[in-house]
Amino acid sequence: MKTIDELLAEGVTGKRVFVRADLNVPLANGEITDDGRIRAVQPTIAKLAEAGARVIVASHLGRPKGAPDPAFSLAPAAKRLGELLGTDVAFATDTVGASAKETVAALADGKVAVIENLRFNAGETAKDDAERGAFADELAELADVYVGDGFGAVHRKHASVFDLPARLPHAAGYLIATEVGVLKKLTDEVKRPYVVVLGGAKVSDKLAVIDQLLGKADRILIGGGMAYTFLYAKGHEVGISLLQKDQVDVVKEYMERAAKSGVELVLPVDVLVSGDFPDLKTKAPADFETVDADKIPADKEGLDIGPKTRELYASKIADAETVFWNGPVGVFEHPDYAGGTRAVAQALVDSDAFTVVGGGDSAAAVRTLGFDENAFGHISTGGGASLEYLEGKTLPGLAALEG
């Protein structure tokens, strides 16, 4: 995989460099609530601009239906990028139309432009190779060189991620190089004990990575909504908690495999439960109680790990050499159910381990809860991409950059 430093050594002054970034930031009323992904790609964009390139930044945001939708415009991200770079950033109001062509043509050496949301064009995400390729052809006309730095999208076989690099000289940006280096420390160069913390809503989203980690991790700590399927598989009632009954047999098999292979699979011993899901908009005080994990009332829902579990998980992390955490262990968006996620984050900070926070929700959680990002070894910009890499899958965006 060619590096950006190699590309810069060849010279990029005056060249149109297409940077596939990941500016898929959360928005509330048109305002960015977490700019972590923009800051993550800033070094690559800044370095190219300093070298005299004419930088064209492209990304997706959300899931528009292949047509323009103001709710998913990249305009706020372009504005924030300009603030971070300390320079004006031009913005094209389409992807490959008149505005994009005019904006790119007007770029001077060392200047930056952002084109509109790639997913406003159906060709970006098309399953049909020809349709996707046709869009990639149009994108290629805008540029001379391609730099892939949108790690959060490398597991997608999309036009700007997979097809476009084949049409232009290409290199990997600083973010992708960093992310891949970190993931190798979680797969090929692991220091032990290796502890994995998995949370999030659905156990089905994590089954493939659990399957792989059963042969690699020393301990796997389970939290979040997915924990209740594990508790149910152990024979416990879980009330109205999130439960995927269709995954129970698989979960039972994984628990048996963990026991046979010596992997410590740790489940909550107590949980915070309530009969009402919390109001995440007003964050009004919640009505909850703490119960043992095997005594969840029939009319209550588990929404966070309890204090005993927080202490237990912290103790399981304390002596680790490597920790990978993906997924909040409770409804952290509400202050009454953020304690578990805060405890996990604090345990990572307090440990001497190489710590990796993987996934948009986990990354948002540590920032929302006020943690210093530098207190962690690495905060990944791509949860899905990280998980698929750990599952041993070939990621289309990385394969394209290696080609």
Catalytic positions are 37, 202, 360, 384
CB 320 within 8 A of CB 194: yes
Q: Give the pair of three-digit tokens for residue 228.
A: 């209740």
Find residue 19's DSSP bridge partners: 57, 147
CB 305 within 8 A of CB 268: yes
Rounded Cα–Cα distance for residues 205 and 400 (Å): 25
CB 37 within 8 A of CB 382: no
Tokens 């039972």 label which residue?
Answer: 252
Tell me if residue 345 falls in helix, strand or coil: helix
Find residue 324's DSSP bridge partners: 196, 356
Q: What is the DSSP letter of 284?
A: P
CB 93 within 8 A of CB 99: yes
236 burial (CB, 10 Å; 0-12 / 13-18 / 19+) is middle
Q: Would you put residue 105 in left (φ > 0), alpha (ψ -120 to 50) or beta?
A: alpha
Q: Give the pair of three-digit tokens for residue 232.
A: 């149910």
Rounded Cα–Cα distance for residues 311 and 309 (Å): 5
Q: What is the DSSP letter of 46?
A: H
Tell me if residue 224 falls in helix, strand or coil: coil
Q: What is the DSSP letter of 307?
A: H
Rounded Cα–Cα distance for residues 79 and 26 (Å): 14
User: CA 102 → CA 113, 222, 325, distances in Å?
Assistant: 11, 51, 44
Crossing angle for the helix pair 75-85 and 36-50, nearest 10 degrees?
60
For 298-372, where are the alpha helices, taking DSSP H only?
307-318, 339-350, 360-368
Residue 209, C-beta contacts closer than 8 angstroms, at least 6 positions apart: 198, 326, 387, 390, 391
